Amino acid sequence: MLEFKISPSVISVLCLSELFVVGLLVFSHGFLLTRQVIVMNSTCHDFNSSESIGGGVARNTEQLNGQRGCWMKPSFDKAVILIVDALRYDFAHFNASLKKDDATSFLNKMPVFKEIMDAKPKEAMLVPFIADAPTTTMQRLKGLTTGSLPTFIDASQNFASEEISEDNIIDQLVKHKKQVIVLGDDTWNGLFPRRFKRSFLFPSFNVMDLHTVDNGILQHLEEELQKDDWNVMIAHFLGVDHCGHRYGPNHPEMTAKLAQMNNVIKKVADHMGTDMLLLVFGDHGMTKTGDHGGDSPDEITAALFAYSPGLNMVPASHDGIHLGQVSQVDIVPTLALALGVPIPYSNLGKVVEQLLATKGESSEEVLNKKVWALAQNVLQVKKYLQEYRKMGNEFPGELWNRLENLNVRMEKDFKDLTVREKKKVYTDYLNLAKMMCEEIWAKFNITEMTSGLILMVTVMALIVLIVLSQVNDALVLKRLLFLTIGVNALFVFTPYTSVSVVAFVASGMIVLWLYFHQKFLSCKCSNFSITDAFSFLLILFIYLGSFSNSYVVVENYMISFMLLSLVILYSVMCFLRRQRKKHINSLSWKNFKVSLNVRNVVCFIAVAVLMVSVRGSSSYWKCREEQPWCVPSQVHTPMIGLPESFRNWRYFTSLFALVLLVWLPRRWLTMCGNLNGSRLGVILVIYVPIITGVFVAAHWAMQAAPLQNSPLSEHIVVPPRLTFAVTMSFAIALYFIPLLIYEVPPKKNFGPVVNHPYGFVPQVYHKLVEKYHDGNSKSSNIPIVYGLATAVSAPLISIVTALLVVLTMLAGDGLAPAVLILVISATSCLLVQAVCSWMTANSIETLLKPSWSALCVWFTLSVHGFYVTGHQPTFSSLHWSAAFVGFAGDWGGSNFFPALLVGFNTFMAHILFGLSLPLIVLAPLAIGVAFPRLRGNRLETEEASRGEFLLVDRPEKAKEAVLFTAISYILLHAAKVFCSSLSAFILRRHLMVWKIFAPHFIFEAVGFLVTCGSVVLSTVFLLRTLKVLFTWSEQLRIKSS
């Protein structure tokens, strides 16, 4: 006797998903530059004189007493920092041998640096200022203020803001009573909110605007220089960078912009006193096309100019070139010690000793001062590396051992070294430490990325062959499990070899597995139609969009267009196929009237509703920073932030949407007879969504009310927590008792039972339908079973309904109508699919298996849902407010649960469409029974009236349909993730890689993981429901025998 075993189907879905995830993780390991943020701060008391590893280095009395500074006496009282965004070194360096006529638009346009160095050679220097990739402004500012090597992902505790959470020079200055003012780029306010005494900041995103930010700075710069209430002034100019983006460096506009900067620097330099330090530098360079973001020489080689009348440096050579170059992180310890504050805790930079040599000191004092500064620098870096290692992070063994050897030498042998030799050891230590961290934080691992991509391609080939060959052999599926275990076991050897080598071997194993199982993998494409081909073509356009930054920016627009195109194409092609079968080949008005039946009208109405809902969903889209035409909607504003006159309208609109989300599925289940009787599952389905809906309404009301001083403020977390608990208990209970049917016991024994083991329940159901139409059920001896035709989908719909209430709560009251619109869109698509399936199906077997077109529509719907629920693939668009649903702002526990809530909020569409995926299989059967006229008379047989019980009648076909649907849906998402990964690999040096492509890849990757988990859960639940129904039918057969 055949049964519904959950294990084989679920294991195959799990194995294929997991194999692809392995490849995805390998690629991510090579692509995403990561490090862990240590939220610890340096203090004045970190190192005392006895801790100094610079034994024998003289320190004057002022330094020992720590007057006016930490760790060492400050060299300056004030600093003026002029950041000329994208100031490449050759923009600043003056080439005297270059004739004026030969100079390009950017060469020799800033003679101010040479003029000052010629006039005051010991007081100024110009050197290459080397940036660490990625060369984007945000990451560069992090490096220039923390001294660390920022990567794309900083695993910080402060996950709700772009605010820098680790120790930095700005915080150290503020903490030690230094007043800081900032002008220019508004990025500073996001990184360091509430830190500045005064700020004059301007929007920085519009790269077409060359002058607004720069002119805004110039309006205040002269006045601020005259004031005496600040210690550090930062002015961040953007015109040069924007000119590069708009025109490229070799353009007359660049000449004008560099000339403007030249005049600004000249005027500021004239204000410098002996106690003031002027630093002028670029945060990065630019390519020949004006782009930046990668690590090409033009992108990483910026300029650094330092000047002070109080400096006493070694002059430049005759051609104006100072020896060596300065890393951008080196500016952090230099500025900290020069102004008398501690070096930030996470700094990896090396102090620029030349900028500590001031006038009035002997050469011996200057040397001792430099060595002492390097000694403090070494102590700080050493402490940071040790703490980083304590947190479970590993450094390359060889480099770490070399650092330890230098450390031993500093502790034991220093007394025998001269001051200059000590200086060299300190310098070697700092250089080696930075090189070691660069190796693990700031380099793409091309080999790992390539091996990850190859592994993903291999797994997709495996999935395609399994799907097309319709493998359902238990032996093959077991061997697939062994393959998955073997691939995962390979990564045990990563301590002994590289991850890329293991990934290449894993790909080879999969290829060998395919070779030895080729006899099981013969393609069966009999159900592939021309409609499917056109659907795949549209999906291909979606995939290829991952390679265009412009497409990614407007993907929400494109996906809505593709969704409508797919559904219209699907319905039209089904209509034409049906016409051809009726031998109606012309589109005359007479033929049109003949074709005008209930199915076509319903299909047309469903498409129209979809078009309206998709159009209406655009009101809930979140605006991207790169969409200047987009006007932010008030739906994303918390209710408490709205005008009082608008709050009631917003609340009751959201409440109405919530009521419909609960009532519509309930109405369907009532109509289908699944809410009759007193089974525990039925009672739960009737009351749980209502109860949780009331909790959500109460939660929204409490959020909107001013409860700051009210006793209710302590209980605002209660309704969400009750909602979570009740929904979780409901889902668990419904898994164990999924039957939502009601049996009316017969008055008499059953008649004869057919011999076919699966024929009894359909026979009972068929007689039930006949009796129902006779209107004489009371006198019937046949048992009446309510809800039998939709007994498979009913528990799934109930689970999804309960989940909808939770996700609507997480989305917020403003987005409740958006969730309703998404549900209406999905329902319309299911109705179109059901009608088209009945129109084109040649047999019951083809009806059970969904078409590729239906799967493509469902896939596109899931992507569309991501945008409808107010999300964008950018970290700034994350709904961080979801983290505090059920958790107070002072939540002292782990961040895991708040972060999980943010994840549920962000990927709610992936969750919903993954969990409701079986509805693609069930919708034609359920709708065909609920609305018999939509079936037509082509398949009007006894089987057609059984509804979803056809799946119980044909367990092998049912499992085949479930497996095909789950794996195919995962394949569609996997292909999108792969294209996103490939685009990130190919465009890793693109200007927008960290701004657009990397976030897009991360959201696609996490969305894929969520999709896989949701599909597995829905598959388990569906097979569990089928198994329980099968057992029930067997028990009913035994009782009647």
In whole angstroms, how far apart are CA 261 and each of 218, 224, 293, 940? 10, 18, 23, 82
How high does pLDDT run on average in the chain? 83
Under the phi-then-psi rule, with left for phi > 0, alpha for psi from -120 to 50, and beta for the rest, what region is 723?
alpha
* 328-345 mean pLDDT: 94
DSSP-based three-state secondary structure for 743? strand
On whether the CB atoms of residues 552 and 996 are closer than 8 A, the answer is: yes
Q: How confident is the model at residue 61 (pLDDT cuts 50, 70, 90)?
A: very low
Q: Which of 46-55, 75-84, 608-617, 738-747 is the least confident region?
A: 46-55
Side chain identity at 433, as an amino acid letter? A
Q: 1001-1026: per-residue pLDDT in tens?
A: 999 999 999 999 999 999 999 999 99
Residue 339's pLDDT is: 93
127 forms beta bridges with: 304
Q: Could you give the C-alpha distances from 729 to 54, 883, 886, in angstroms and in order?
A: 64, 22, 17
pLDDT value for 858? 96
- Residue 872 pLDDT > 50: yes
> Which range has the worst mean pLDDT, 43-52, 115-124, 658-667, 836-845?
43-52
Q: What is the pLDDT of residues 110-131, one digit of tens each?
A: 999 999 998 998 999 999 999 9
Judge whether residue 162 has pLDDT over 60: yes
Expressed in angstroms, the distance from the first to the final Cα of the chain is 17
The whole-number pLDDT of residue 942 equals 63
User: Residue 989: which of 136, 56, 49, 87 has the closest Cα?
Assistant: 136
Question: Would you state the pLDDT for residue 913?
Answer: 96
Nearest residue to 160 via CA among 879, 1001, 874: 879
Q: Would you state the pLDDT for residue 946?
A: 77
151-160, pLDDT tens digit by residue?
666 544 334 3
Better-predicted residue by pLDDT, 985 or 419: 985
Question: Is residue 720 predicted with pLDDT exceeding 80?
Answer: yes
Q: Please give, one letter per residue, the 3-state secondary structure of 840-896.
A: HCCCHHHHHCCCHHHHHHHHHHHHHHHHHCCCCCCHHHCCHHHHHCCCCCCCCCCCH
Angle value at C-alpha 719, between 714 and 720, nearest 5 degrees: 105
pTM: 0.72
> Is the model's pLDDT at 661 over the cut of 90?
yes
> Out of 146-160, 475-489, 672-686, 833-847, which region has the weakest mean confidence (pLDDT)?
146-160
pLDDT of residue 937: 63
Q: Average of pLDDT values for 752-773? A: 42
pLDDT tens, residue by residue, 825-869 = 999 999 999 888 888 777 777 788 888 999 999 999 999 999 999
Average pLDDT of span 676-691 = 91
pLDDT at 753 over 80: no
| Closest residue by Cα to residue 304 from 318, 284, 286, 287 | 284
**What would the pLDDT profile of 358-413 be if each residue is shown by its tens digit?**
888 888 888 888 899 999 999 999 999 988 888 766 777 788 888 888 888 787 76
Least confident of 214-223, 679-688, 945-954: 945-954
Only one residue has tokens 């020992």, namely 64
- The percentage of residues in the chain with a pLDDT greater than 70, rounded to a whole number, is 84
Cα-based distances in Å from 732 to 677, 678, 728, 735, 737:
21, 19, 6, 5, 9
User: What residue type is assigned to position 126 of the chain?
Assistant: L
Which residues fall within 8 angstroms of residue 568, CB to CB, at 6 or more apart? 607
